[in-house]
Structure 1
Amino acid sequence: MWVSGIALCTVGNMSRGSFNCQRVGVLLSAGSFSPPTLMHLLSLEQAREYVENTLHHPVWKGFLSPVHDAYQKPGLVAAKHRLQMCALAVKDSDWVQVDAWEAQQPCYSPTFQVVQSLRERLEAQRRLPDPGPSVFLVCGADLVASMNNPSIWPVEHLQKLFALCEVVALPRPALDATDEEALERVLRQYPAAIHYWKDAPVQCNISSTLVRERVAHGRSIRYLTPRAVENYIWEHGLYRQTNPSIESAQ
């Protein structure tokens, strides 16, 4: 798929590369990406370091998967814009691509379905050697803490998710005591499925919320997001409202 001249990954258009018989790692970062920030890219880079050096899986590819518009999170601009911004954010990367599948579905997809789809498409295209990829979901500790809430993460969804992938979680600087307690509870409950790199060397506090708020007040977002994404935001007038929901894709 192409958006304004930039190729978005549909898995079938990926090059095979060269592999030995070792199971390879594929990293997936699923989120709003409204907009993608340098923290998102740094998280993938650090996760790759952890997976290769600690878990001893050579990493083949990383993917950004923007959520469907039906998620309706405050500040979520239309998928058309988020796909474009993600493509711009990774255009110079030699290993990270954008997976448009989730954003292009007819409705919202739970995370386990996103992981399942990626695995199935990789295996169907025979892009990886047997026995197939080890998929690692890359996220922040705050997301892992939210797994303690069954209204957000039903137990059956977590069970399906952990049957399909492992999680690499990176620290977030500002977890409160309640979230810290929830995080510890989830880590104790799923010790084999979640790898928490508590001592990751670089801990970044740049958030999409911060970028949106600064844009809404006309402030600089330089060095918070890739320059191409910054230019896209200003050129398309995104996040000018203080509390935008789904902005027009026109």
Structure 2
Amino acid sequence: MTSQEEIKVVLLACGSFNPITNMHLRMFELARDHLEDSGKYRVVKGIISPVGDRYEKEGLIDASHRLKMARLAIQNSDWITVDEWECQQPEWVETAQVVRHHYEELISSENNNDDVDTVRVTPQLKLLCGADVLESFGVPNLWKPEDIEEIVGRYGVACITRCGGNPEKVINQSDVLYKHSKNIHVIREWVTNEVSATHMRRSLRRRQSVRYLLPDAVVNYIEENDLYSEESEQKNADVILAPQRYTCTN
């Protein structure tokens, strides 16, 4: 397959990024390798979209800090970007709406292409996520059925799963996921990595080192701004999380 026949893909990762970790960045690299190794795709861009403050997850620090850390984390990447649109919205935004927004941005960008000799083909947009998000599609009343249908059926998902996981079982147990299984790219992470933002915040609260688990620039920013503490972890502790509060998705 020649490069002209390869399908362009943009990867979009939504989440708290509280804080962003090396594993968040590693997901983009794993997905790009997997898709491009198939010979069918060429990944042209990665987008990190931190959730807004109105998500009100326990321990969620201000979006301004999470945006800054994300931008510091990708400062050496030539293809991953950070987008602030979701953070700027006055209310919490459903994931399907975020994906839809970025796809419309891709269409608009292609339509504004001044090169009249270029065939305009809008890249595919795929939601990049971990296996926990794929599993959450099966949790009753957490996602709107029409949102799952739109995300998986219209756009597609690149799911990073770890050794020992069984995403095929998750797909098989869901009628909607099974119907669109060709749009779900299961990407195995064979190098065990249990880095999570929750673990990072716990270590930071305890004044333990997180170097080499987070990008150095992010570690420095956290230390300079004294971001994570017992007090910050209690933020939104008594608030019902956005998906349940609005009886819709994320």
Question: TM-score, normalized by length of structure 2?
Answer: 0.82
Question: For 1:238 and 1:183, how far apart are their aligned partners in 2?
Answer: 38
For residues 213-232 of structure 1, what are the structure 2 equivalents within 5 Å?
213-232=202-221
2:25 aligns with 41
Identity level (%): 36
Residue 25 (str. 1) matches residue 32 (str. 2): no
Following TM superposition, by how much is the alpha carbon of 1:183 offset from its aligned partner in structure 2, in angstroms? Answer: 5.7
2:37 aligns with 53
CA contact (8 A) 2:163 2:190 kept: no
2:173 aligns with 185
2:72 aligns with 88
2:55 aligns with 71
For residues 117-136 of structure 1, what are the structure 2 equivalents within 5 Å?
117-126=101-110, 130-136=120-126
SS in 2 for 1:28: strand
SS in 1 for 2:126: strand
SS in 2 for 1:91: coil
2:193 aligns with 204
CA contact (8 A) 1:33 1:208 kept: yes
CA 1:55 to 1:100, structure 2 compared with 1: closer, same or farther past 3 Å?
farther
Comparing 81-90 and 188-197, the one that deviates more: 188-197
2:224 aligns with 235
SS in 1 for 2:141: coil
Following TM superposition, by how much is the alpha carbon of 1:109 offset from its aligned partner in structure 2, in angstroms? Answer: 1.1
Residue 171 (str. 1) matches residue 161 (str. 2): yes
SS in 2 for 1:228: helix
Task: State the AA in 2 paired with 1:220.
Answer: S
- Higher helix fraction (1 or 2): 2
Question: For 1:24 and 1:180, how far apart are their aligned partners in 2?
Answer: 26
1:101 aligns with 85
Task: State the AA in 2 paired with 1:35.
Answer: P
Structure 1: which 5+ runs fail to align? 1-18
Task: State the AA in 2 paired with 1:73.
Answer: K
Structure 2: which 5+ runs fail to align? 114-118, 237-250
Question: For 1:244 and 1:133, how far apart are their aligned partners in 2?
Answer: 41
Question: For 1:56 and 1:225, how far apart are their aligned partners in 2?
Answer: 32
SS in 2 for 1:192: helix
CA 1:180 to 1:121, structure 2 compared with 1: closer, same or farther past 3 Å?
closer
RMSD: 2.5
SS in 1 for 2:189: coil
1:110 aligns with 94
CA 1:219 to 1:152, structure 2 compared with 1: closer, same or farther past 3 Å?
same
Q: How many residues align?
A: 226
Question: For 2:181 and 2:171, how far apart are their aligned partners in 1?
Answer: 12
Larger Rg: 2
Question: For 2:132 and 2:179, how far apart are their aligned partners in 1?
Answer: 16
Question: For 1:183 and 1:74, how far apart are their aligned partners in 2?
Answer: 29
Comparing 42-51 and 145-154, the one that deviates more: 145-154
Of 178, 184, 203, the residue aligned with 1:194 is 184
Following TM superposition, by how much is the alpha carbon of 1:21 offset from its aligned partner in structure 2, in angstroms? Answer: 6.7
CA contact (8 A) 1:62 1:97 kept: yes
SS in 2 for 1:171: strand
Q: Deviations over 1:50-104 (max 9, x none)?
A: 1111262111000110011111112211100000000000011010000111111
SS in 1 for 2:31: helix
CA contact (8 A) 1:171 1:203 kept: no
Q: Deviations over 1:194-225 (max 9, x none)?
A: 1212x333342100001100000110011110
1:244 aligns with 234
CA contact (8 A) 2:162 2:189 kept: no
Question: TM-score, normalized by length of structure 1?
Answer: 0.82
Of 142, 146, 160, the residue aligned with 2:136 is 146
CA contact (8 A) 2:127 2:151 kept: no
